[in-house]
Amino acid sequence: MSIIFWTVIKFITSIILGILLSIIISLSLLYFLGEESGLHYFYELCSYQLEWLKNTPHLVTKLFNTLSQFNFIENNLIKNIITAIILSVSLCILRLSTAILFLPLFILFGLVGLTDGLVQRYLRRLGGGRESALIYHLAKQYIFVCITFSIFIYLVLPFKFQPEVLFLPFSIMFGLLISVAIRTFKKYI
């Protein structure tokens, strides 16, 4: 039970760190690009993310629409910083909802890896193959890292790209890691 608790805590911590790093990157882009072009860049990023999510109605799109109704017309530095932070957080929420939509892809490749690993383990048991505890423990550690790192990278990157480009390789790696972990599990339980 404590393993599940600490796994959830690690996952939530990585999401919070991703949001904080995204805010830092947005403020640095606001500084380097200038106030108007930096805010325009983040409005463009958020609208692109909303276009990608246009077929999925949820609370996130309603939240972004209410946030975009605030009118920050004055060219004050504090208001621009607050606007950049709001846009950065809303972009992270939009991207987090997109990442949640890609979790079935991870489950699909995980099931394929589980099936392949069970077959390979059964063949190793019948053939008298050797087991390797080191490979099993390394693969088991990197399974969680694969999902968490892909979501962290997706939250932090400050430019437009298709999420399939990031999540497809990580989901394939997730399936391979599950296959290796199950394949190198003990011969006899």
For residue 172, the enclosing domain spans: 102-189
- For residue range 74-126, list pLDDT tens digits in order: 556 677 777 778 888 888 888 888 899 899 999 999 999 999 999 988 888 88
Whether the CA torsion 136, 138, 144, 147 is positive or negative: it is negative
Q: Write down which residue in 36, 71, 98 finishes a domain.
A: 98
Determine, yes or no, domain membership for 89. yes
Whether 146 is covered by a domain: the verdict is yes
Domain boundary among 98, 121, 143: 98
* Tens of pLDDT, residues 51-70: 777 665 555 556 555 555 55
Interval 149-169: pLDDT, tens: 999 999 898 888 888 999 999
**What is the reported pTM?**
0.78
Burial-class residue 60 by CB neighbours within 10 Å (0-12, 13-18, 19+): buried
Cβ-in-10-Å burial (0-12, 13-18, 19+) of 63 comes to middle
The b/e string for 77-89 (b: 16+ C-beta within 10 A; e otherwise) is eeebeebbbbbbb
Number of structural domains, the chain?
2
Is 171 part of any domain? Answer: yes
